[in-house]
């Protein structure tokens, strides 16, 4: 029997159901002697459980378990002059199918004079129908530097999911002493997806990553980085504009991509990997 809409005074007075949205914000300020301020609200948490090679390791966590339509996450790190830190995420971030407004992620990373930040999050997994807008803003003082990683996986590979609908805007901006020195943007939508697997674009790749090393010595690491771009199943390229080292990676699966990222990180930085990573 076909269902019918209930009507009448009792039912007409019921307001339409509004979906609950997740909101989270976490902010960490570190100085040479350790944590100076920690603030967190909603679904965002920041943990400082241990030191890695003498550096504080900041671990961000989204307790909502993923991002749906209209959700928002805000992460902020502020390092005082001559302060170094490593920041990562506890697990892969998931962007679920969204019917309405995109989910939003905003990251603001501020590094004081002579400081250093490694931002090494785990993968972002985009489900079919996901809508996500993300912006990473990095402000470096004179003499400061950073290493930025951004891995993305298109679909749940273990389930054989094929991405047919997607809206992604992903932008990273790095400023030093107020001057923009790096701008990296990625935009994907349904129209782009129809051309995405052309050999001149992603081909058969469903996982990708970008790394950006911002430092005066970045060009010195170009050849060592190219020397380890040989992980089976991964295509990689590296370039060294002034003051930067930029690497792009494509893979058919998330595990070869992670293995290649790990090999690169061991070349680009002397310190151990984030302890939270499952490797």
pLDDT digits (tens, 9 = 90+) for 144-186: 999 999 999 998 766 667 778 889 999 999 999 999 999 999 9
- Say whether pLDDT at 34 is over 50: yes
Mean pLDDT of the chain: 88
Query: Cα–Cα distance between 137 and 155 in angstroms, integer?
Result: 26
* 3-class secondary structure, 131: strand
pLDDT digits (tens, 9 = 90+) for 45-104: 999 867 777 789 999 999 999 999 999 999 999 999 999 999 999 999 999 999 889 999
Provide the 8-state DSSP code for 260: H
Where does the chain have alpha helices with state H? 9-12, 190-196, 222-227, 254-268
Q: What is the pLDDT of residue 200?
A: 44
């Amino acid at each position: 029997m076909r269902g019918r809409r209930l009507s009448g005074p009792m039912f007409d007075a019921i307001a339409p159901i509004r979906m609950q949205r997740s909101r989270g914000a976490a902010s960490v300020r570190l100085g040479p002697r350790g944590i100076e301020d920690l603030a967190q609200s909603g679904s965002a948490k920041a943990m400082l459980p241990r030191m890695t090679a003498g550096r504080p390791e900041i671990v961000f966590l989204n307790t909502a378990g993923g991002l749906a339509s209209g959700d928002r996450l805000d992460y902020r790190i502020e390092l005082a002059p001559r302060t170094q830190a490593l920041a990562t995420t506890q697990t892969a971030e998931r962007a679920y199918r969204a019917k309405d407004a995109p989910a939003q992620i905003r990251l603001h990373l501020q590094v004081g004079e002579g400081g250093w930040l490694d931002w090494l999050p785990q993968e972002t997994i985009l489900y079919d129908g996901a809508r996500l807008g993300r912006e990473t803003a990095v402000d470096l003082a004179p003499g400061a530097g950073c290493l930025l990683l951004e891995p993305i996986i298109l679909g749940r590979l273990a389930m054989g999911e094929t991405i047919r609908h997607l809206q992604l805007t992903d932008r990273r901006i790095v400023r030093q002493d107020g001057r923009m020195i790096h701008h990296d943007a990625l935009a994907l939508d349904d129209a782009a997806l129809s051309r995405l697997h052309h050999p001149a674009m992603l081909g058969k790749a469903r996982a990708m990553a970008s790394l950006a090393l911002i430092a005066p010595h970045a060009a010195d690491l170009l050849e060592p980085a190219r020397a380890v771009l040989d992980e089976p199943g991964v295509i990689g390229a590296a370039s060294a504009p002034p003051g930067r080292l930029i690497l792009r990676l494509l893979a058919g699966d998330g595990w070869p991509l992670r293995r290649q990222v790990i090999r690169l990180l061991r070349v680009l930085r002397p310190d151990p990997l984030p302890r939270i990573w499952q490797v």
